[in-house]
């Protein structure tokens, strides 16, 4: 009888161990995000392809830009290809969550609201939200825009900048939203809006590269400072760690600085 009870007890213990081991495996999901990227051999980068100098199409229709060069170099160091996928900016975070893309790498500002939805690399570029007006306009300060119309890109942090400058935004008669900054600037040139709020690196590059200094002017006052980071899914911690490591190496060995000088004429990498 004792022998039978010992065998039965051992069997119960063995079965219980298997059950608990199985439960443990179910509850603990291993992070294979980096392994997945390496296995498929590519990183799909989501971007707005009309966002110079971060990512845009050149005269030949090729996607080029500062972030494009950074991403290509990062992919090379990770041993994978980089595929660029234009996505509607207003829905780009949803595209990332739905795994249509692997990263958002396109002048993406790090904000508390976005950090609740996605993960970010360490900041790699500093930026600000500037106010652009027509060169010959009478506007010189934020206080001059009472009852005026301001344009911004839909889904951009220009909206957050307006929210954080209630005294300025509250006096506006209208905020017009555009699918991209170029459309907003063209409407400013045509006089359909009185100003455009947008990223400094993008606005200043557009004015410089289009020889538009006679058309547009940037006010001395801005609507706040910010930083750019690469956006990833919150659960992709292994992939994020590798991306941070690669970006750090690119800063340390001067590669990021060289890419910056190519697009901005100086090293502005953070």
Tens of pLDDT, residues 168-225: 999 999 999 999 899 999 999 999 999 999 999 889 888 988 889 899 999 999 998 8
- Region 117-134: mean pLDDT is 95
Burial class (CB within 10 angstroms; exposed 0-12, middle 13-18, buried 19+) of 157 = buried
**Residue 16 pLDDT more than 60?**
no
- Work out the number of other CB atoms within 10 angstroms of the CB of residue 229: 24
Burial of 51-63, coded b for 16+ CB within 10 Å and e otherwise, reads: bbbbbbeeeeeeb
Tell me if the pTM is above 0.75: no
At 157, the pLDDT band (50, 70, 90 cuts) reads confident
Higher pLDDT, 268 or 103: 103
Tens of pLDDT, residues 67-111: 999 999 999 999 999 999 999 888 999 999 999 999 999 999 899
- Region 142-161: mean pLDDT is 93
Across the chain, the runs of DSSP E, i.e. the strands, are: 42-47, 50-51, 55-57, 63-64, 81-86, 103-104, 119-120, 125-134, 149-153, 174-178, 195-199, 216-228, 231-232
φ/ψ of residue 228, rounded to 5: -95, 145
First to last CA, the chain: 76
């Amino acid at each position: 009888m004792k022998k039978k009870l010992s065998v039965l007890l051992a069997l119960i213990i063995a079965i219980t161990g298997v059950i608990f081991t199985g439960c443990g495996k179910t509850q603990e999901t291993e992070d294979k995000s980096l392994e997945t990227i390496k296995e498929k051999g590519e990183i799909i980068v989501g971007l707005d392809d009309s966002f110079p100098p971060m990512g845009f199409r050149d005269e030949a229709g090729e996607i080029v830009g500062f972030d494009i060069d950074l991403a290509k170099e990062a992919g090379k160091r990770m041993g994978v290809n980089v595929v660029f996928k234009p996505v509607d900016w207003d829905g780009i975070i949803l595209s990332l969550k739905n795994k249509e893309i692997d990263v958002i790498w396109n002048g993406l500002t790090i904000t508390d609201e976005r950090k609740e939805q996605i993960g970010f690399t360490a900041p790699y570029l500093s930026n600000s939200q500037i106010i652009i007006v027509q060169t010959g306009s009478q506007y010189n300060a934020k206080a001059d825009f009472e009852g005026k119309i301001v344009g911004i890109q839909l889904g951009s942090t220009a909206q957050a900048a307006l929210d954080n400058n209630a005294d300025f935004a509250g006096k506006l008669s209208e905020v017009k939203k555009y699918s991209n900054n170029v459309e907003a600037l063209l409407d400013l040139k045509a006089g359909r809006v009185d100003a455009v709020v947008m990223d400094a690196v993008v606005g200043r590059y557009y004015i410089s590269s289009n020889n538009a200094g006679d058309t547009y002017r940037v006010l001395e006052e801005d609507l706040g400072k910010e930083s750019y980071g690469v956006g990833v899914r919150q659960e992709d911690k292994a992939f994020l760690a590798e991306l941070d490591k690669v970006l750090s190496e690119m800063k340390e060995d001067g590669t990021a600085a060289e890419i910056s000088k190519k697009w901005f004429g100086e090293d502005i990498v953070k």
